[in-house]
Structure 1
Amino acid sequence: MSASPTMTLPPGIPATNTETEQEILGAVEEAAGGQERVKALWQLVFFYQEQANRSDLAVPLLELIIRESDDPENTAIAYYTLGHIEQTSEKWAEALLHYEKGLSLSPRHLATTYFLYNNAGCCLNSLGLYESAKRYCRRAIEVNAKAPNAFKNLGVSLYGQGNLKGAAWCWGKAIKVNPSDPRAAELLDQLLAKHPALKSECPWIHRALKPLRKTSRG
């Protein structure tokens, strides 16, 4: 059962005295409850996080959404957003906890599941827990093998464990999936600069870099 829709907003709101904020607060106040109110609360979260640069207010609003929502899918997204906020501040352990809570709800939407696994893997990499990170990244790839993020993060896991060829393969795969994303290319370039022998040991690296050459030629 969901909590009462009349729960008060966190302290500090309103915060900006802008017309946009007042309009959203009006929508929250007028919402009948349930999903209508949760939808309005999400609008307020996005306003504080993306427009007002007030993640400190977005966090308690997300916690309020979690308490009020009876939709596991919506709650999983709220945990993902909390994790992303913590991850942006490099609070890896805190972010990981949120991502794991989101995954525990078994969200149906593949995009939600993918990014919960992927971002959890990224946090584990940052904590130096490469074996656990590998498992999360591989689960993300099982969900969606057409996105580059988890391949890039799996490469970081393998590199952290000394598997240079495996890391190169993952970063090459990320480049193939999305040549316009520079992160995997930068990691692969750094790897080859430190270990130039890989170019001759792994001829397929040249094929992995072909999409980048095509992109650079326009």
Structure 2
Amino acid sequence: MIISILLSTLGVIFVAQPSFIFSKISNIPETNISSGHYKRLIGILIALYAAIGMAIMVISNKHLLSKYKTKESLIMFIFEFVILHILVANVLFRYNFFIDKMQLFINDFFNWRYLCASSICLLHIPGFILVQKGVKLEHPSIFTILQSSGIIWSILLQNIFSSVKSNFLSLLGSILVLTSILIITGFKFINEKKDQKQSVQACSIE
């Protein structure tokens, strides 16, 4: 488990490639790096907060589903209800629906790009349903580490649909993350086989 965590952490570092570690091989000019230093720092802090929040969400959902037998539909409804209100508040704060910003609101929301993005975001709904199922069936720590496989899918989609291609370190980081997932899966499989053998032996002795 510790080896998997270390490999996953190294993989994330190689994929993210923070400028204070990989400044010599970064393709970004130094002026852009220095000017965007605070923005990158804020982005890193937000990412860390999101990771901690996701871990807390997995543990709390596991607790609600296993101990209190809370309905999965109720958890999903509360989550989507909160997200909807946050998005509406963000729109009201940004546009204020004044006369001078109504045209900006129309241009941003009533176009084919926004409709395509909204349609793609609907894929989040079945994904969240599967998250609830996975949390209910698996241990929170293993589920959280396995979720890091999203890095691999992100790099794959980036190389397919984006003009920015991944370098060697990004691919190496993806391999490390995949290796950590395989180690966890194999470790889990071996433990389950041992438990099955012990249970069979105990039943035969009785």
**TM, length-normalised to structure 1:** 0.21
Q: Which has the higher contact order (CA 8 A, sep 6+)?
A: 2
Larger gyration radius, structure 1 or structure 2? 2
